[in-house]
């Protein structure tokens, strides 16, 4: 059904007891045209765009756990496109533009809030590199602004700009169109949209192997719910990409790390933008519920444990309180970690793998949420046509052999 004010009114008249489920939970069919492995944002968006853009609706999304239970539900919900190199600028800004129309496209409120994203400069060198960065973005046609210390103070009054501040703020670099979106809603909206177009979303279904023919071409996947035949498979499994690649018999230039985030108890509106301090490895925004959402830098050792280490937690809390001393009496309600797929140039991989018929979308590392629309769009394109999408052409696995890396370590926001 279509969600609208009228539907809400009708729902209210019947005591909100008759809302249909947003998507079905079908039994897996024996055969699909395309199977997507991973029911997070990227996998669900891939299925949605396969059906919407390419008319391929005999598609299954296989999810080991529940929809959006991995990084899609664990990130800090920031969306932005402040990347340096032209390939990345095009890719991430396409994603942000899709986000700008996503609630209407999906008929699902993803609560996009373009509240701006401020990156603090703590030194003269930070200011210089940010002015290069902002000018490069302007050349790519993406909104970017440099702010003076006074402008930062006016915009973020909670920030400690006093003479005794532990990390002096000299200015900031801002993308006004950046902001936050509700992460669960993005997964659910794509799931509902894909389901309406005929895609089967199958949860609690782990992929345990890939089936290939004598030529090595994919012919199916083995799952915890039996074998499913298909000639085309897309993997969108973030931190578990290497595990799936191993099942298919190849390796990836990926290392999995835990990335932590945490929320405080809710409070009244105090911070109406996203503030990141790359120098101290912390960033903060306030959710619509009023919680301060705090993100950390990576726990810098390989991990598949979806929890962060206490050392990094201490560091990020200290850095946050140095920026915002008035938060010192807030209690943390929850702390968690997602397993992110970090590659050496902090740029994604979207395209074919060494196994014919098997395609992958991975390597987003610490910044996958903002890229869900474009990740889905471009993976769907290569699955449907067998050719890389123009936007994804530079982001191929082969760049780790040719050396044509796109090093976005700075734009990825937090320390690697």
What's the closest the beta carbon of residue 60 comes to another protein, in angstroms? 24
As a whole number of angstroms, the longest Cα–Cα distance in the chain is 70
In sequence order, what E strands does 21-135 have?
Answer: 34-37, 59-62, 78-79, 117-121
Tell me whether residue 154 or residue 305 sits nearer to another protein (CB atom).
305
Tell me whether residue 71 or residue 256 sits nearer to another protein (CB atom).
256
Interacting residue with another protein among 205, 254, 394, 411 (CB under 8 A): 254
Q: Is 192 left (phi over 0), alpha (psi -120 to 50) or beta?
A: alpha
d(CA 44, CA 37): 10
d(CA 87, CA 90): 5
Kindly state whether residue 119 participates in binding another protein, applying the rule CB under 8 A: no
Element (H, E) at 126: helix 124-139
Kindly state whether residue 346 participates in binding another protein, applying the rule CB under 8 A: no
Tell me whether residue 19 or residue 310 sits nearer to another protein (CB atom).
310
Kindly state whether residue 311 participates in binding another protein, applying the rule CB under 8 A: yes
Interacting residue with another protein among 301, 328, 331, 334 (CB under 8 A): 301
Tell me whether residue 237 or residue 276 sits nearer to another protein (CB atom).
237
d(CA 398, CA 354): 10
Kindly state whether residue 300 participates in binding another protein, applying the rule CB under 8 A: yes
Interacting residue with another protein among 31, 107, 309, 396 (CB under 8 A): 309
Q: What is the size of the binding site for another protein (CB under 8 A)?
A: 25
User: Residue 314, class by beta-carbon neighbours within 10 Å (0-12 exposed, 13-18 middle, 19+ buried)?
Assistant: exposed
Kindly state whether residue 224 participates in binding another protein, applying the rule CB under 8 A: no
Interacting residue with another protein among 71, 76, 256, 320 (CB under 8 A): 256
Tell me whether residue 149 or residue 344 sits nearer to another protein (CB atom).
344
With contacts defined by CB under 8 A, name the span among 71-79, 81-89, 137-145, 244-252 that binds another protein.
244-252
Q: Look at residue 9 and give its three-state secondary structure.
A: helix
- Of residues 387-406, those binding another protein (CB under 8 A): 400-403
Kindly list the distances between the CA atom of residue 34 and the CA atoms of 65, 93, 158, in Å, as whole numbers in the listed order.
Answer: 20, 27, 50
Kindly state whether residue 238 participates in binding another protein, applying the rule CB under 8 A: no
């Amino acid at each position: 059904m279509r969600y609208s004010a009228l539907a809400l009114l009708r729902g209210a008249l019947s005591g909100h007891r008759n809302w249909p489920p947003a998507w079905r939970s079908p039994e897996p069919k024996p055969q699909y045209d395309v199977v997507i492995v991973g029911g997070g944002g990227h996998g669900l968006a891939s299925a949605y765009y396969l059906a919407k853009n390419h008319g391929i609706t005999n598609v299954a999304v296989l999810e080991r756990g529940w929809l959006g239970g991995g990084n899609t539900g664990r990130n800090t919900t920031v969306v932005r496109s402040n990347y340096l190199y032209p390939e990345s600028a095009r890719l991430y800004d396409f994603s942000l533009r899709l986000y700008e129309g996503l609630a209407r496209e999906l008929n699902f409120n993803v609560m996009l809030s373009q509240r701006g994203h401020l990156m603090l400069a703590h030194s003269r060198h930070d200011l210089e590199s940010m002015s290069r960065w902002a000018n490069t973005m302007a050349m790519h046609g993406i909104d970017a602004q440099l702010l003076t210390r006074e402008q930062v103070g006016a915009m973020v009054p909670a920030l400690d700009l006093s003479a005794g501040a532990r990390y002096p703020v000299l200015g900031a670099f801002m993308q006004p169109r950046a902001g936050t979106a509700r992460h669960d809603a993005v997964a659910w909206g794509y799931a509902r949209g894909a389901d309406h177009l005929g895609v089967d979303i199958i949860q609690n279904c782990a992929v345990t192997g890939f089936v290939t023919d004598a030529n090595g071409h994919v012919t199916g996947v083995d799952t915890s719910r039996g074998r499913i035949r298909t000639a085309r498979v897309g993997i969108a499994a973030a931190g578990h990409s290497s595990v799936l690649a191993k099942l298919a018999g190849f390796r990836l230039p990926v290392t999995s790390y835990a990335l932590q985030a945490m929320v405080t108890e809710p409070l009244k509106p105090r911070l109406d933008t996203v503030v990141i301090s790359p120098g101290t490895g912390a960033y903060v925004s306030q959710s619509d519920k009023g919680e301060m959402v705090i993100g950390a830098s990576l726990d810098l050792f390989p991990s598949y444990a979806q929890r962060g280490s206490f050392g990094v937690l201490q560091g990020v809390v200290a850095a946050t309180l140095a920026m915002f001393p008035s938060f010192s009496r807030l209690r943390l309600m929850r702390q968690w970690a997602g397993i992110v797929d970090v590659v050496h140039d902090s740029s994604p991989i979207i395209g074919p793998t060494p196994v014919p018929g098997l395609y992958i979308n991975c390597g987003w590392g610490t910044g996958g949420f903002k890229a869900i629309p474009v990740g889905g769009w471009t993976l769907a394109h290569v699955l449907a046509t067998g050719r890389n999408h123009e936007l994804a052409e530079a982001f191929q696995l082969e760049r780790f052999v040719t050396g044509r890396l796109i090093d976005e370590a700075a734009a990825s926001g937090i320390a690697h």
